[in-house]
Structure 1
Amino acid sequence: MARKRKKKGVQTAARKLVTSINTRSVVSEQFRTIRTNINFSMPDRELKTILFTSSDPGDGKSTVAANVAVVFAQEGKRVLLVDADMRKPTVHYTFQLTNTLGLSNLLTRQAELSDVARRSDVGLDVITCGPVPPNPAELLASQTMNKVMEDMKNKYDIIIFDAPPVLSVTDAQILSNKCEGTVLVISSGDTEKAGVVKAKEALVSSQANIIGAVLNNFEMDKDHYYYQYYGNIE
């Protein structure tokens, strides 16, 4: 994926969901490697709730989360992708869904899980953000969110949360404390090391279980950029 190439509007679903469009591509294989590493990251217990975040906006965490969700679904898992970025949601664009009903409705008890979880064309269920609320952090920190996550775990094998960047707002820290694993997405050449360090420190202070990092936009040759690896943050 080209590094920081700006375009008006949101990228098309075909561009974002490479794991569905071209399952034999190098990038798709790298997402399958991420899936494998997640599966082996906690050998003594099953991870069902995984948070994807980044230090700053524009690092590609939403695209990474969506493609990881797709490859888990391709493995035969019951997968739910949740847009927990209730400030700048994008998941509904990626999956070409409406955003009139979603997580915000669920957390304000205006809807049930079955009302907001919609089947996508790529074999997984999606919960969009819904109407952007005035108090996202409070909703994510609520006991209602705890109950919602338990309901999700009873129905799905794996739930992937797309959260806001760590250094922008507190939402990711709040949700990382509730999730069983957290993955930090880093944009090669764009994310400053100091920002990554601060993001890691913020997540650690929230007692997040950081299971690894994805290096995004890594230049393999002059024409192509890939999701390079998944590994621990030292």
Structure 2
Amino acid sequence: MLLSKRKIATRQRRNLVTYSNPDSLIAEQFREIRTNISFVTKKGKCPVLLITSPAGGEGKSTTAANLAVSMASQKENVLLIDANLREPALDYIFKISHSVGLTDVLVGKASLEDAAYRTEIGRLEILTAGISPKNPTEILESERMKDLLQEAMTKYDVILIDSPGVLKVADSRVLANKCDGVILVVSSSSTGHEKAWEAKKALEFAQANIVGVIINEMK
């Protein structure tokens, strides 16, 4: 299912357009994506959605951030998790500290309640990556990660996870089958059909439920 084909200027890629310019065409496109997602997720259940891309530089983190803002503006309790432990980006996009985050919760140094950053944007909370661990794949594959998601499902209406590129490292693949669905973000100018196909096959091999694709057109 094609969730959206959106066009944004390169200089805007790291902007929270859905927050700074909610009446823009881009913000409207994110509202369309939000609506499309509601059609492919189970009603009455807190969906856990993984947002990934084949490699890097395809606008994945910006997409995750703006989608989270759009959902939170609908009075939904949204948790946005930065699971890109190698190259985190959400702290930069939202201009917040990542000194305490996901890794701290997973190793028992902090609780979800203490580590989640409450923003001023609707009901959006962000769990940054935290300090980069030596074993990202293993920590994300752990039983504690599964427990964290179970806990989060009791506190939020929707959980979005920003993860690394599927073809770069195994992190996204070990997370994929812990989630209800995966959204694949591809760039029309840089991804290429072969990489997109390889990413799709890798996710299917990991038994991921691919709920849709967002084609990101950059000027």
Per the normalisation by structure 1, the TM-score is 0.86
In 2: Cα distance, 1:100 partner to 1:53 partner: 23
| Contact 1:47/1:180 (8 A) holds in 2 | no
Question: Aligned residue for 1:33?
Answer: 32
Aligned: 1:104 with 2:103: yes
Question: Aligned residue for 1:207?
Answer: 207
In 2: Cα distance, 1:35 partner to 1:201 partner: 25
Question: Aligned residue for 2:50?
Answer: 51
In 2: Cα distance, 1:212 partner to 1:200 partner: 11
Question: Aligned residue for 2:126?
Answer: 126
| Contact 2:46/2:159 (8 A) holds in 1 | no
Task: Name whichever of 91-100 and 45-54 sits farther off.
Answer: 45-54
**Over aligned residues, Cα RMSD in angstroms?**
1.6
In 2: Cα distance, 1:90 partner to 1:184 partner: 17
**Once the two structures are aligned, what percentage of the paired residues are identical?**
43
| Contact 1:54/1:185 (8 A) holds in 2 | yes
Question: Aligned-pair distance for 1:192?
Answer: 1.2
Q: Deviations over 1:145-174 (max 9, x none)?
A: 111100100000000000000000000011
Unaligned runs of 5+ in 2: 1-7
Instruction: Evaluate the alpha carbon distance shift between residue 137 and residue 28 of structure 1 in structure 2; reply closer, same or farther with a 3 A threshold.
Output: same
Question: Aligned residue for 2:9?
Answer: 2
Question: Aligned-pair distance for 1:188?
Answer: 1.1
In 2: Cα distance, 1:47 partner to 1:102 partner: 21
Question: Aligned-pair distance for 1:2?
Answer: 2.9
Aligned: 1:69 with 2:76: no
Question: Aligned residue for 1:78?
Answer: 77
| Contact 2:41/2:47 (8 A) holds in 1 | no
In 1: Cα distance, 2:112 partner to 2:45 partner: 23
Q: Which amino acid aligns with 1:40?
A: F
Q: Which amino acid aligns with 1:99?
A: H
Question: Aligned residue for 2:187?
Answer: 187
Question: Aligned-pair distance for 1:46?
Answer: 3.6
Q: Deviations over 1:85-108 (max 9, x none)?
A: 000001001111111100010111
Higher relative contact order (CA 8 A, sep 6+): 2
In 2: Cα distance, 1:44 partner to 1:98 partner: 34
- The 3-state SS of whatever aligns with 2:154 is helix
Q: Which amino acid aligns with 2:48?
A: T
Per the normalisation by structure 2, the TM-score is 0.92
Question: Aligned residue for 2:168?
Answer: 168
Question: Aligned-pair distance for 1:43?
Answer: 5.2
Q: Deviations over 1:120-166 (max 9, x none)?
A: 12120001000000111101110001111001000000000000000
Question: Moved runs in structure 1, 4+ residues, more than 3 A?
Answer: 42-47
- The 3-state SS of whatever aligns with 1:138 is helix
Question: Aligned-pair distance for 1:189?
Answer: 1.5
Q: Which amino acid aligns with 2:168?
A: S
| Contact 1:51/1:183 (8 A) holds in 2 | yes
In 2: Cα distance, 1:74 partner to 1:169 partner: 33
Unaligned runs of 5+ in 1: 6-10, 219-224, 226-234
Question: Aligned residue for 2:136?
Answer: 136
In 1: Cα distance, 2:41 partner to 2:17 partner: 27
In 2: Cα distance, 1:2 partner to 1:154 partner: 38
